Amino acid sequence: MPASIIDGKLVAQEIRSALSERISALKHKNIVPGLAVILVGEDPASVSYVTAKEQACADIGMKSFEYRLPDTTRTEELVALIHKLNADKAVHGILVQLPLPGHIDEFSVIEAIAPEKDVDGFTSINLGKMLLGQDAFIPCTPHGIIKLIEHTGIPTKGTHAVVVGRSNIVGKPLANLLIRKEINATVTICHTGTVNLADFTKHADILIACAGKAGLITADMVKPGACVIDVGVNRVPAPQSKKGWKLVGDVLFDEVLDVAGFITPVPGGVGPMTITMLLYNTVAAAEKMSV
């Protein structure tokens, strides 16, 4: 039997409906949650991500403030903009789309964001609090993945979760969330230094691919019945498509479908959840600032 496909759009829609009510309640207090979205440069994938984030804000009745800056922007200019936004009462969340051009000091830029407006959860304050189990903004993609796993209803306690990828924005925070008592998985983190990746992935009850490498996970690397979450968003050439490319994940979907118990598609799996959890954090930020 093929795997059940986890519909990220549907789960995202359920969460967005609940958020709409909270946004209405804020509007009664004359507060419209506002998200500042900063993009430096014109990387096509980043342009499409920030456009989708701004559109999601508009769709749900939130404000977004766009800052599209040239790739010659200097660290100091970006930090100065963030300081201005930190002080702006109409701005409840600040997002700096990553990656930034190589000459920019990414750490200094992210650290300039006031922790109470860090709706990506990327500052050392929020990541540290998350690690310690304190109230914090949880990074959007890992948070969305946890919601998707919960949505399947599979028991997670005592399972073996294997995270393939160790980025600061997905792999590392996700591994931390998976070991929380609510999930209680035993976690292995694999990365480019892992020798014989399949030896680990084959024993995963929950397999999360967040390496950014198209087709990395093949059917023979997956335990029958596993829950497979594909975080990869890779553009690969597709001469038959009008754009000349298509999006694929890190998982070879067509073949893994026949082995896994649950699987997320790309697009339509993790992507809509990332944006939804960004809306979720921004609404939470606005609520906290309203009391």
Among 26, 78, 95, 100, binds ligand GUN (CB under 6 A): 95
Looking at residues 173 to 232 of the shown chain, list those that interact with ligand GUN (rule: CB under 6 A): none
Residue 120 interacts with ligand GUN (CB under 6 A): yes or no: yes
Among 97, 123, 126, 156, binds ligand GUN (CB under 6 A): 97
Residue 159 interacts with ligand GUN (CB under 6 A): yes or no: no
Closer Cβ to ligand GUN, 61 or 212, answer by number: 212
Burial class of residue 101 (count of CB atoms within 10 Å of its CB; 0-12, 13-18, 19+)? middle
> Least separation, in Å, of the C-beta of 276 and ligand GUN?
12
> Least separation, in Å, of the C-beta of 290 and ligand GUN?
24
- Beta carbons of 95 and 267 less than 8 angstroms apart: no
Active-site residue, 134 included: no
3-class SS at 246?
strand
Distance in angstroms (rounded) separating the CA atoms of residues 45 and 63: 22
Q: CA-CA distances (angstroms) from residue 148 to 36, 122, 137, 209?
A: 27, 21, 18, 14
Closer Cβ to ligand GUN, 78 or 204, answer by number: 78
In the numeric block, which tokens belong to residue 208? 């999360």
Contact region with ligand GUN (CB under 6 A), list: 79-87, 92-100, 145-153, 261-269: 92-100
Site string for ligand GUN, 53-82 (x = CB under 6 A): ------------------------------
Beta strand 262-263 pairing with 4-5: parallel
Active-site residue, 53 included: yes
Amino acid (one-letter) located at 44: P
Beta strand 234-237 pairing with 245-248: antiparallel
The Cα angle at residue 221 between residues 219 and 223, in degrees rounded to 5: 85
Residue 169 interacts with ligand GUN (CB under 6 A): yes or no: yes
Contact region with ligand GUN (CB under 6 A), list: 96-104, 190-198, 216-224, 235-243: 96-104
Give every strand in the sheet of 262-263, ordered side by side.
Answer: 4-5, 262-263, 227-230, 206-209, 160-164, 186-190
Chain centroid to CA 250: 15
Residue 234 interacts with ligand GUN (CB under 6 A): yes or no: no
Binding site for ligand GUN (CB under 6 A): 95-98, 120, 140-141, 169, 274
Q: Which residues are catalytic?
A: 53, 97, 120
